[in-house]
């Protein structure tokens, strides 16, 4: 699943060990594809695929935001300041936008 890194800096490792070779260092905002979560020696690890196609592992405690795609079914919607219908409208989105 496509995700965005939230941690300021995180190291991508070659294998599920803090002592394994470093493949890359990611910064907050970078997008990656997350794979399977595995527990090894009591620690969680997440397989990650970088834009270059290289696969490695992130420590399980890495903070990420899963990127979700949504589609409107109606012609347009109001974007509100808060989660209630009474919240101020701060914008509009049209179908296909």
Number of neighbours of residue 97 by Cβ within 10 angstroms? 8
| 9, 49: one domain | yes
| 92, 61: one domain | no
For the stretch 20-58, pLDDT in tens is 999 999 999 999 999 999 999 999 999 999 989 999 999
| 24, 47: one domain | yes
| 31, 57: one domain | yes
Residue 95: DSSP 8-state: T
Question: Which domain CATH number covers 29?
Answer: 2.30.30.40
pTM for the model stands at: 0.72
Residue 20 sits in which domain range?
A: 2-66
Nearest to residue 54, comparing CAs of 19, 25, 18? 25
pLDDT beyond 70 at 97: no
Based on the structure, what is the number of domains in the chain? 2
| 56, 20: one domain | yes
| 13, 42: one domain | yes
């Amino acid at each position: 699943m496509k995700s965005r890194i939230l941690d300021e800096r995180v190291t991508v490792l070659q294998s599920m060990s803090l002592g394994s070779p470093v493949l890359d260092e990611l910064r907050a905002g970078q997008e990656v594809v997350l794979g399977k979560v595995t527990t090894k020696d009591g620690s969680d690890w997440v397989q990650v695929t970088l834009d270059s196609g290289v696969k490695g592992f992130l420590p399980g405690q890495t903070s990420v935001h899963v990127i979700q795609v949504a589609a409107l079914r109606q012609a347009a919607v109001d974007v509100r300041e808060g989660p209630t219908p009474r919240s101020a409208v701060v914008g509009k989105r049209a179908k296909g936008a």
